[in-house]
Chain A
């Protein structure tokens, strides 16, 4: 089955700086890659996703890049703000879509004031 590795497990950045979280996946047939943000006491919330037919997608301060050849994708957050502090999860969907999402283990992003 699919295996997703996520790094780093903890990331601390100064407010206003950029943050990058990286994920790799194992199944070359995977074709859908969402990113979720989870705040304390809440369920994961979808913040951006990318499908395998594009290499980059941007939504205001958030962007995701996908390299299918290398089987990795990354989340980029620019001009970080205190409210960006949370746990972020990447995920991948196996090609057939029959098994649901496989998640990385999460990155705890800390924005230092």
Chain B
């Protein structure tokens, strides 16, 4: 089975802090994605990556950056956390192809910014 692991289930940080969310997948997937999930808004794509050191902006990239130094790991970075970034963050991965493959999700990191 595909395993997508997010390093923290719950995280509490302060406004202005630099925050790192980590995601690791064990299926040698080329594609990795970061979404945020908010009540009534569904899932929205923040950033994604089709290869190591490659990144592309999704629908809501402002205030975020990403890093993909190794194939299995995709990090989401909040450069200077703000209260409107309090949310559930979900990482996903999928096999090769230009996205037309099932995406498998981790269980999420619930981030609170105080």
A-side interface residues toward B, CB under 8 Å? 1, 6, 31-32, 34, 36, 41-46, 49, 51, 89, 91, 93, 96-106
Contacts and interface: CB of A to CB of B under 8 A. Distances in A.
A97 B42 contact: no
Contacts, number: 66
B57 to A, nearest CB: 9
Contacts of B103: 34, 46, 101
Interface in B67-109: 90, 92, 97-100, 102-108
B89 to A, nearest CB: 10
Tier of interface size on chain B? 20 to 34
Contact of A101 (B45, B98, B104, B108): B45
Contacts of A32: 99-100
B90 A44 contact: yes
A106 B33 CA distance: 19
